[in-house]
Amino acid sequence: MKIKLLLALLSLSFAGAASAQLKPEDAIKIRQSGYGFMAWNMGRIKMNVEGGQYNKEEVVKAANAIQAIANSGMGALYVPGSDKGKGWEDTRVKAELFTNKEGVGKVAGAFVKEANEMAKVAATGDAAAAKEQFGKLGASCKGCHDDFKVKK
């Protein structure tokens, strides 16, 4: 899919990203990719803050990836028609995400704030502070999942 998707995107002749309307299935795939990649990096931080060994470089790399993805503007991926359907797998987004703008803004803002703080704390190399911030970041992920993601 990656190359096909890239070629599809590259062949768009619209001027400016705002005009680029992704197909729902592609938008869902990209969302799932972003969250999946962040999940891997959450796991890496978790292993470092809860394991016996703290590797500053590992945590920095993982935190930077989460921060950049969190700030990338994934909101644009919730295109009309992507409330249902299959990307890599069936989307589990709730319909409320498309209607409760205030609620979404609140949880999304909290997530971005904690992701930015995680990257900042990681850069200091302070393992105890990283562990504390990792807890806050995880809670901000859960805040959105609780309200806007169907449980398995």
Binding site for a copy of itself (CB under 8 A): 1-6, 8-10, 12-20, 29-30, 32-37, 39-44, 46-48, 51-53, 55, 58, 61-62, 64-65, 67-69, 71-73, 88-89, 145, 152
Dihedral sign, Cα of residue 8, residue 14, residue 20, residue 24: negative
Our CB check for a copy of itself shows the closer of 101 and 152 to be 152
CA distance readout (Å), 32 to 16, 19, 35, 142:
24, 22, 5, 16
Our CB check for a copy of itself shows the closer of 58 and 126 to be 58
Our CB check for a copy of itself shows the closer of 65 and 104 to be 65
Torsion of CA 62, 68, 72, 74, to 10 degrees: 20
CA pair distance 90, 77, nearest whole angstrom:
15
Tell me which residue has tokens 């969190």. Answer: 70
Q: In angstroms, give the least distance from the CB of 10 to a copy of itself.
A: 5
Assess contact for 62 and 112: CB atoms under 8 A: no
Our CB check for a copy of itself shows the closer of 52 and 80 to be 52
Helix (H) or strand (E) holding 85: none
Our CB check for a copy of itself shows the closer of 30 and 104 to be 30
Hey, is 47 helix, strand or coil? helix
Q: In angstroms, give the least distance from the CB of 93 to a copy of itself.
A: 12
Q: In angstroms, give the least distance from the CB of 129 to a copy of itself.
A: 18
Q: In angstroms, give the least distance from the CB of 81 to a copy of itself.
A: 17
Q: In angstroms, give the least distance from the CB of 4 to a copy of itself.
A: 7
